[in-house]
């Protein structure tokens, strides 16, 4: 087994069969760890009184975004900052599409019709705000300040503001969804029931298990992305658009596992907050990419591809936010109308991105 720079395994030196086997093993680890960490997150939420939205955003969103952090930082350190930027922005819309796929797990009801916590509006709005800053930076151009783009300093400040704002929503609810079905009460009861199934474990034990599951997701998620990249290269797809999509799918597998587990457990607020939280962390990752890459601000080398990827992320996010506001409980092909719109928009966006590559 060969090692690249920094002592990291060079997966490209392994055979295709070996990479496929490692990829499958890493995928299995990510999936199982994702299922367990979602359950642990619910227990932590119930026993500490921290809301599902905050736990979903910080714990699930933060953990599932870490494999992307490792991949993007590694790419930026090896002179592939533009590739890292495109990967981050392209992944935002793909992760929103995961919510549309998860909608199928509910069946007769639309996901956006059963999310009771209005904090998802704030999460979505802040995410759109950050993406708008990125798109503006690409169009206007950036200048370096202390070795990092000035726009990126603004992005970091807004991200920290977003985290502070969202963390305070668990202690104050200026308004809430009012409905005859008491969706919020139902979700809280489901969360409590799920937590009671883990009654034999104390809070401390649950946190330790959550840390272990998080570590498994981070390590296996990174291996998943690196072997996926090697497989794409070895099969001749590495330099193609299809290869980039395959790698993006690999890095999004942690989110697929956690979101599907949350939705199947009826923890809809946690599922949406998981994706929106991951998106917030991923967009803020552009600051780290700029810092690691050095030299000219990275967004100056980004072009129409990155800008349009950000626009797709904004559009798909607002479709879900509008769906939660409208609360139309109608499913077609086991999906809400907004979920179908998100999938159509994302797939159409991929076609456009293919020609902008």
What whole-number distance in Å separates Cα of residue 263 and Cα of residue 230? Answer: 32
Task: Measure the CA–CA gap between 69 and 133, rounded to whole angstroms.
Answer: 20
Q: Closest Cα partner for 285 from 16, 81, 34?
A: 81
pLDDT at 136: 92
CA distance 149 to 133: 12
At residue 3, does pLDDT exceed 50? no
Q: Which residue has the higher pLDDT, 228 or 95?
A: 95
pLDDT above 90: percentage of residues in the chain? 11
For 126, residues 6+ apart whose C-beta sits below 8 A from its C-beta are 158, 162, 165, 166, 280
- Map out the domains of the chain with their CATH numbers: 5-356 (1.20.1420.30)
Mean pLDDT, rounded, for 335-345: 86
Question: pLDDT class for 316, splitting at 50, 70, 90?
Answer: very high
Helix axes 81-106, 241-264, angle to 10 degrees: 40
Alpha-carbon dihedral 185, 188, 194, 198, rounded to 10 degrees: -140
Averaged pLDDT, 118-127: 86
Nearest to 124 by CA among 283, 255, 262: 283
Query: pLDDT tens digits, residue range 179-224?
Result: 545 555 555 555 555 555 655 567 777 788 888 888 888 888 778 7
Sign of the C-alpha dihedral, residues 53, 195, 329, 340? positive
- For 16-44, the pLDDT digits (tens) are 888 888 888 888 888 888 878 877 777 77
Three-state SS for 253?
A: helix
- Is residue 43 a contact partner of residue 260, using CB atoms and an 8 Å limit? no
CA atoms within 13 A on the CB side of 10: 9
Is the separation of the CB atoms in 103 and 111 below 8 Å?
Answer: yes
Residue 237 has pLDDT above 50, yes or no: yes
Q: Region 67-86: what's the mean pLDDT?
A: 76
- State yes or no: pLDDT of 7 exceeds 70: no
Taking the C-alpha atoms of residue 263 and residue 92, their distance in angstroms, rounded to an integer, is 20
């Amino acid at each position: 087994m060969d090692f690249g720079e920094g002592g990291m395994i060079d997966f490209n030196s392994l055979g295709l069969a070996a990479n496929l086997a490692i990829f499958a093993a890493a995928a299995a680890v990510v999936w199982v760890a994702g299922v367990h960490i979602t359950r642990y997150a619910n227990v932590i939420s119930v026993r500490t009184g921290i809301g599902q939205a905050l736990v979903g955003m910080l714990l699930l969103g933060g953990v599932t975004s870490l494999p992307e952090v490792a991949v993007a930082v590694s790419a930026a350190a090896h002179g592939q900052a533009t590739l890292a930027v495109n990967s981050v922005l392209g992944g935002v819309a793909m992760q929103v599409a995961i919510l549309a796929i998860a909608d199928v797990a509910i069946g007769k009801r639309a996901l956006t019709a059963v999310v009771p916590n209005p904090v998802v509006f704030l999460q979505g709005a802040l995410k759109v705000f950050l993406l708008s800053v990125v798109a503006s930076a690409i169009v206007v151009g950036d200048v370096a300040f202390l070795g990092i783009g000035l726009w990126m300093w603004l992005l970091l400040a807004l991200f920290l503001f977003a985290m502070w704002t969202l963390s305070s929503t668990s202690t104050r609810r200026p308004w809430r969804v009012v409905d005859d079905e008491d969706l919020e009460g139902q979700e809280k009861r489901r969360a409590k029931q799920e937590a009671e199934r883990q009654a034999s474990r104390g809070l401390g034990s649950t946190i330790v298990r959550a840390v272990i599951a998080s570590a498994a997701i981070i390590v296996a998620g990174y291996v998943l992305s690196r072997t996926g990249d090697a497989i794409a290269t070895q099969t001749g797809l590495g330099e193609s658009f299809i290869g980039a999509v395959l790698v993006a799918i690999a890095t999004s597998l942690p989110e697929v596992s956690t979101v599907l587990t949350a939705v199947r457990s009826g923890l809809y607020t946690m599922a949406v907050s998981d994706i929106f939280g991951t998106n917030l962390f991923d967009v803020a990752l552009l600051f780290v990419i700029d810092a690691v890459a050095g030299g000219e601000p990275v967004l100056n080398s980004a072009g129409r591809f990155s800008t349009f990827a950000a626009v797709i992320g904004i559009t798909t996010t607002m479709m879900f936010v509008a769906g939660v506001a409208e609360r139309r409980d109608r499913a077609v092909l086991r999906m809400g109308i907004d979920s179908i719109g998100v999938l159509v928009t994302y797939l159409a966006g991929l076609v456009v991105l293919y020609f902008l590559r």
